[in-house]
Amino acid sequence: MRDQFTRLAITLMLISGLAAGALALVDSFTAPRIAKAKAQALVRALTEVLPGAATFKEDQELLATAKKEREFATVTAVYRAAAADGSPAGLVVTVTPRGYGGPIELMVGIRQDGTLAAVRVLTQTETPGLGTKVEEEDFLRRFRGAKTGEHLTVDKDGGRINAVAGATISSRAVTQGVNTALSLAVRAGL
């Protein structure tokens, strides 16, 4: 009986070792491709929220400074953008405010003149059919043209941003994220 148990344990260890080795081999082939795809998706998202910008450089110093203040706790990345001629084109801020279903990761593009160019939802876990509507262009275009120094609120709170019907909490979260990005742009000198 003990001999049978030992044989079974050794067989199980060998199978587990082979499976782990196979997974490591597959990972070594797919990891570079996944990293490349993520980098390409990041560049697409950056150019989508700040059209006309040619290059983007992550601003770790501004991010570190912002993270010291509670107001900017949801900021996860900051990129300075430049036009093709090298002149400043604006700022892209990634923020993650808390919605109804969890964090909503947003990318907000702000032109050099302080106007909001575009907002894009990168990830969200909101209620399907309701809260997920905050990632639709119909809702996101409501933020275009907002300016740094402006504080946006949803219509239910007396503001100009029409909240998605049945998804007020999600709408407020996106609005809060946009406000955070606009405030950070002020700090960045836009």
Q: How is the chain split into domains, by residue range?
A: 1-48, 50-187
For 30-81, how does the pLDDT look when each residue is reduced to its tens digit (9 = 90+)? 888 888 888 788 888 899 999 989 999 999 999 999 889 999 999 999 999 9
Q: What is the C-alpha separation between 90 and 174, in angstroms, rounded? A: 20
* Confidence class for position 1, pLDDT limits 50, 70, 90: low
For 139-164, how does the pLDDT look when each residue is reduced to its tens digit (9 = 90+)? 999 999 899 989 999 999 999 999 99
Q: What is the DSSP string of 53-108?
A: --EEEE-HHHHHHHHTSGGGTTEEEEEEEE-TTS-EEEEEEEE--B-SSSB-EEEE
Contact (Cβ atoms closer than 8 angstroms) between residue 174 and residue 96: no
Would you say the C-alpha torsion 123, 128, 131, 132 has a positive or negative sign? positive
